[in-house]
Amino acid sequence: MLAVLSITIPIFLLIGVGFLAFRFRIVPPEHARALGAFVLNFALPALILRALSSHRVSEILNLRYLAGYAAASLLVFALVFTIARRARGRSRTESAIQAMGASVSNSGFIGYAVASLVLGEVAGLALSLNMIVENAIVLPLALGLAEAGRGEGATLAATIRGAALRLARNPLILSILVGLALALTGVVPPAPVARAIDMLANAAAAVALFSIGGALVGAHATGLVADVALIVAGKLVAFPLAVFCVFALVPGLDPVLRKAALVFASVPMIAVYPLFGQVYGLGRLAAGAMVAATALSFLTISTLLYFL
């Protein structure tokens, strides 16, 4: 158990340091979004690029892993969306945002930080594979349904096309494409470029965790307990269970990658989840869910690592 705590405690210590730094204005609150933008647009793309370019194409295009992780993500998305829509009577937009919170992990910030400590270099490969599923399948689906539910006249097909265009300009997607190209051609970046990529990639985990602490300042969800509970239960319980069950049926998969998938599934939702919530008038719900999931994930991640 001490070995597990030695992995999880540093993660949450960095989140706590970030929270205190922003709570007491050691770092101005307006800088939280800038830190997040640095990680999303520079550090994480560098991390993905480094991970992909250092693996064979056969490892990167691991169709078994991609299919399994996508199936588990979509299963949980459908489950939470249906419960929110049918059992709780929520709108299509709110149901889609709740389902997003349950089925898209904080892969780049917390997931990678935990997996790299536990599993080493394979964490970068798993991160890249997860990013493909999250950015190319689950997020477009969630945003398409959310937009379709706003009643603004746009068709679902048009909304998905718009989301696809935005994804084509996403640095994370671009880094995946460049990394695949480097792996396919065997081209190695010049030494100065490679060192710059390493420097950015090495900053990803610490800056990401620090910025998450800042994002938690002031978040609350009074009066939204049932909806928050649905999102958190979906994310921290249903998603890891779905990944475990689906991957148990996937033959010939590297056991270390199987463990990586479980680690990534057990962490809280994507760090920019409250920003997506704000776009659709659900910022308080999304922020409250992220606070609860981040706090409770200390227990779920620690429990999972104990049995890995």
pLDDT tens for residues 94-144?
999 999 999 999 887 788 888 988 888 888 889 889 988 887 789 878 877
Spatial distance between the Cα atoms of 91 and 142, rounded to a whole number of angstroms? 13
Spatial distance between the Cα atoms of 156 and 186, rounded to a whole number of angstroms? 40
| Residue 2 clears pLDDT 70, i.e. is over it | no
The pLDDT of residue 276: 76
- The 10s digit of each residue's pLDDT in 289-301 is 888 888 888 888 8
- Cβ proximity of 268 and 227 under 8 Å: no
- The 10s digit of each residue's pLDDT in 233-266 is 999 999 999 999 999 999 888 999 999 999 999 9
The pLDDT of residue 48: 78
The whole-number average pLDDT for the span 5-9 is 70
- The 10s digit of each residue's pLDDT in 205-215 is 788 778 777 77
For residue 243, which of 269, 228, 263 has the smallest C-alpha distance? 263
Most confident among 61-75, 139-153, 282-296 (mean pLDDT): 61-75
The whole-number average pLDDT for the span 69-85 is 97
pTM as predicted: 0.76
Domains and CATH numbers, the chain: 2-307 (1.20.1530.20)
The pLDDT of residue 159: 57
Percent of the chain residues past pLDDT 90, beyond the cut: 29
